[in-house]
Amino acid sequence: MDITGNAFVTGGGDGIGKASCLALAKEGAVGLLVADINLKAAEETVAEAIAVATNPGFRVEAIYLDVTSEESVKQAVAKMIESFGRIDYCIHSAGIGLRSYLPVDEASFDEMKRSLAVHVHGTFLVTSQISAAMKSQELVTVDSARPERGATRGSIVVLGSSASIFTIPHFVPYTASKHAVLAIAKTAAMESGAHNIRVNCICPNWTDTPMLRQTLGSSEEMTVETLLSTVPIKRLCTVYDIADAALFLCSPRSGYITGVAFPVDGGMALTMKT
């Protein structure tokens, strides 16, 4: 995959973020900062990343991060620069599921505020701080054998959702937040292209993680079978499917791709209406 640089991963303690950390280590990343509100989980990811790393110079650290706090995001980004010198890839995977699944007229305002804080404020703060750090970095040639492929200062991948594109009944706090996540990624991509920074948004559907297991446990109607009724590939998405997409979007192999909503959804988009 041509993954050789330093990565900053939010939500790296579990689910998609953790799988992305392990894939980065396995594919040859040289530096990795695992950032999560659950520091103990982040430290467990560190231990597992060391076990699978392939780059002889590999270094990895964990840090506490609350993406809803500007100060916390600033500290984590500063730590990344202090420990690793530069940020080649950022995978922003910190996120939360819903506690209740209700129509708009019954949905909780507290749930809406919580989802907006983690997903929208979090994505804004991470994308903003990482973009600022990347802008001040040296340009790196993408492929010295093919100079026409240009140069890069870094790649940012944020986790949206199929709910960034489609409406999902009874998910209004999540759908509203994830639409905004995609909007932040697209805006940053437009502004950052001239600075050789790419920004993309992965849009997964139902991915088998602790978050989805919590959703499935929340009501009797929410079963794997009902979720898969709109998915042509009849299985849940795995964290490995998403980590592979994230690494592709980080790597120079996607060097001409920016500002996209990248679906990893088993074909679900074919059955949905916007």
Ligand X SMILES: NC(=O)c1ccc[n+]([C@@H]2O[C@H](COP(=O)([O-])OP(=O)(O)OC[C@H]3O[C@@H](n4cnc5c(N)ncnc54)[C@H](O)[C@@H]3O)[C@@H](O)[C@H]2O)c1
**Chain residues that interact with ligand X, rule: CB under 6 A:** 10-11, 13-17, 36-38, 41, 65-68, 93-96, 118, 159, 161, 204, 206-207, 209-212
What is the spatial distance between Cα 79 and Cα 61, in angstroms, rounded to a whole number? 10
Identify which of residues 62 and 142 has a Cβ nearer to ligand X in the complex.
Answer: 62
* Shortest distance (Å) from residue 162 CB to ligand X: 7
Identify which of residues 146 and 234 has a Cβ nearer to ligand X in the complex.
Answer: 234
Identify which of residues 30 and 90 has a Cβ nearer to ligand X in the complex.
Answer: 90
Q: Where are the alpha helices (DSSP H) in the chain?
A: 15-27, 39-52, 70-84, 109-115, 122-135, 172-192, 210-216, 224-228, 239-250
Sorted by sequence, the CB contacts under 8 Å of residue 189 that are 6+ apart come out as 198, 199, 200, 258, 259
What is the spatial distance between Cα 43 and Cα 13, in angstroms, rounded to a whole number? 8
Contact indicator for 123, 92 with CB cutoff of 8 Å? yes
- Residue 210, helix vs strand vs coil: helix
CA proximity to 257, closest of 208, 207, 185, 204: 185
Around Cβ 225, how many Cβ atoms within 10 Å? 7
Catalytic residue among 64, 101, 178, 186: 178
* Cα dihedral across residues 247, 251, 254, 259: positive or negative: positive
* Shortest distance (Å) from residue 94 CB to ligand X: 3
* Shortest distance (Å) from residue 107 CB to ligand X: 17
Identify which of residues 192 and 207 has a Cβ nearer to ligand X in the complex.
Answer: 207
The residue of the chain with the least Cβ separation from ligand X equals 15
Identify which of residues 55 and 68 has a Cβ nearer to ligand X in the complex.
Answer: 68
Catalytic residue among 18, 89, 101, 174: 174
What is the spatial distance between Cα 214 and Cα 101, in angstroms, rounded to a whole number? 12
What is the spatial distance between Cα 188 and Cα 183, in angstroms, rounded to a whole number? 9
Q: 178 catalytic, yes or no?
A: yes
* Shortest distance (Å) from residue 144 CB to ligand X: 35
Identify which of residues 151 and 222 has a Cβ nearer to ligand X in the complex.
Answer: 222
* Shortest distance (Å) from residue 171 CB to ligand X: 11
Burial code (b: 16+ CB inside 10 Å, e: under 16) for 15-35 equals bbbbbbbbbbbbbbbbbbbbb
Q: 273 catalytic, yes or no?
A: no
CA proximity to 263, closest of 205, 198, 186: 205
Active site residues: 174, 178
